Amino acid sequence: MPIYEYRCSECGQSFEKWQRSMVCEEAARCPKCGSQKVKKAISVFGSIGGGSSSGDSCAPTSGG
């Protein structure tokens, strides 16, 4: 079951909602203000590569 991220156009609250399928989407409501004026946000998750150079990566490092 996919999780979609939304952002409320009324109050700016960001939230996630479980949906049964992309075809059968239920109307999303903001949990903070109850508005239905919400937009799907671009979801960024589990990306590989493009890591930071600050050294706080989980990837193994080479060298000594």
Mean pLDDT of the residues in the chain? 75
Kindly compute the dihedral angle of the four CA atoms of residues 8, 13, 16, 22, in this order, to the nearest 10 degrees: 10
pLDDT digits (tens, 9 = 90+) for 30-59: 999 999 999 988 766 654 555 555 555 565
What pLDDT does 46 receive?
53
**What is the C-alpha separation between 22 and 47, in angstroms, rounded?**
22
The alpha carbon dihedral of 49, 55, 57, 60 has a sign of: positive
* Greatest C-alpha distance within the chain: 55
Its pTM stands at: 0.56
% residues pLDDT > 90 (the chain): 34
